[in-house]
């Protein structure tokens, strides 16, 4: 068994001060809470990692790891949402999705198409460095994910992991104004398909090839997840100055409560 070290909170840190004020506890009590939470996070990560090793290396998948068909094909009737109507800000609920870190791995046959598509996007959308950040989740992840839960998860990222550098300075409070919208697999797949067809000045792949790449990407990402155990959310690009606020902007949060991971995917380009 490897030695596991849990970093002790700094009693003078802004994080601890913020947590103590939020929970109305002393700094010592808040520190104890954070230590307990980090220990639980390590335990959940180890349990999840052990299941992944059994599934990948021993070649004897557990019952839930059966394959599921990915129901997507290119269409024009599923578009990225229009966020022009802005609602009043909602309060951010307590963090209900346990964020452990950024260590997410896939079996090689699934990893290859995922990396291929993300690399293509990065190579061919020159105006903005695409963001594709995976986060590992704890077993306490709810089976059904609401927009409020998705918003609170985004709010927790700076405290338990890190916000990808290109979109640093993002405003979660901006997203609280109605900028987190549930969408379908079809909408998510269509956006990937659109990106793979090309950016403002570049063409990556003709339609047939882009469709094939998109389907392989979705199968690698979701082929072992029941359809009702994954939630897709479109994010209003206005939450970060990274975006050019033109037709090439896309921003998604995907939360998989079956395999315990989340994906923050953002891309932008401009003419």
Which domains can be identified in the chain, with CATH numbers? Answer: 1-66 (no CATH), 67-267 (3.40.1000.50)
Per the DSSP assignment, residues forming a β-bridge with 253 are: 233, 264
Q: What is the pLDDT of residue 18?
A: 65
Q: CA dihedral defined by 99, 267, 91, 36, rounded to 10 degrees? A: 10
Structural element, H or E, at residue 98? none
- Relative to beta strand 250-256, strand 261-267 is antiparallel
For 210-244, b/e burial (b = at least 16 CB within 10 A) is bbebbbbbbbbbbbbbeeebbbbbbbbbbbbebbb
Which pLDDT belongs to residue 87?
57
Q: What is the pLDDT of residue 153?
A: 94
Note the pLDDT of residue 61. Answer: 37
- pLDDT tens by residue, 86-107: 555 566 767 889 999 888 989 9
Distance CA 150, CA 142 (A): 11
The whole-number pLDDT of residue 183 equals 95
**pLDDT of the residue at 30:** 66
| pLDDT for the residue 186 | 95
pLDDT score for 43? 52
The runs of H, that is alpha helices, within the chain are: 14-23, 27-57, 108-124, 147-160, 172-175, 185-197, 207-222
What is the model's pLDDT at position 217?
97
Expressed in angstroms, the distance from the first to the final Cα of the chain is 53
- What's the confidence (pLDDT) of residue 1? 42
Angle subtended by helix axes 185-197 and 207-222, to nearest 10:
140
* Alpha-carbon span 112 to 109, nearest angstrom: 6
**Burial class for 14, CB neighbours closer than 10 Å (0-12, 13-18, 19+):** exposed
Question: Which pTM does this prediction carry?
Answer: 0.74
| pLDDT under 70: residue ranges of the chain | 1-24, 27, 30-65, 77-78, 85-91, 93, 125-128, 199-204, 271
Q: According to the model, what pLDDT value does residue 80 have?
A: 79
């Amino acid at each position: 068994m490897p030695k596991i070290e849990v970093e002790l909170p700094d009693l003078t840190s802004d994080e601890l001060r913020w947590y103590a004020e939020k929970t109305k506890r002393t700094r010592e009590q808040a520190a104890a809470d954070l230590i307990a939470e980090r220990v639980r996070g390590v335990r959940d990560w180890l349990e999840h990692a052990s299941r992944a090793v059994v599934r990948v290396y021993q070649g004897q998948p557990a019952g839930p790891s059966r394959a599921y068909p990915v129901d997507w094909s290119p269409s024009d009737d599923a578009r990225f949402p229009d966020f022009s109507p802005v609602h009043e800000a909602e309060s951010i609920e307590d963090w209900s999705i346990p964020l452990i870190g950024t260590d997410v791995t896939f079996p090689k046959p699934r990893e290859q198409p995922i990396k291929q598509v993300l690399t293509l996007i990065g190579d061919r959308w020159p105006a903005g460095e695409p963001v594709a950040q995976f986060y590992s989740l704890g077993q306490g992840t709810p089976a059904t994910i609401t927009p409020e839960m998705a918003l609170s998860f985004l709010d927790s990222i700076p405290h338990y992991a890190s916000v990808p550098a290109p979109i640093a300075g993002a405003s979660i409070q901006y997203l609280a104004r109605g900028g987190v919208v549930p969408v379908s697999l079809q909408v998510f797949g269509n956006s990937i398909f659109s990106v793979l067809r090309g950016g403002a000045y570049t063409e990556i792949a003709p339609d047939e090839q882009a469709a094939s790449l998109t389907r392989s990407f979705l199968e690698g990402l979701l082929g072992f997840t029941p359809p009702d155990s994954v939630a897709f959310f479109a994010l209003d690009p206005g939450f970060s100055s990274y975006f050019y606020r033109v037709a090439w902007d896309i921003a998604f949060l995907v939360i998989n409560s079956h395999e315990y991971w989340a994906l923050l995917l953002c891309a932008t380009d401009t003419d």
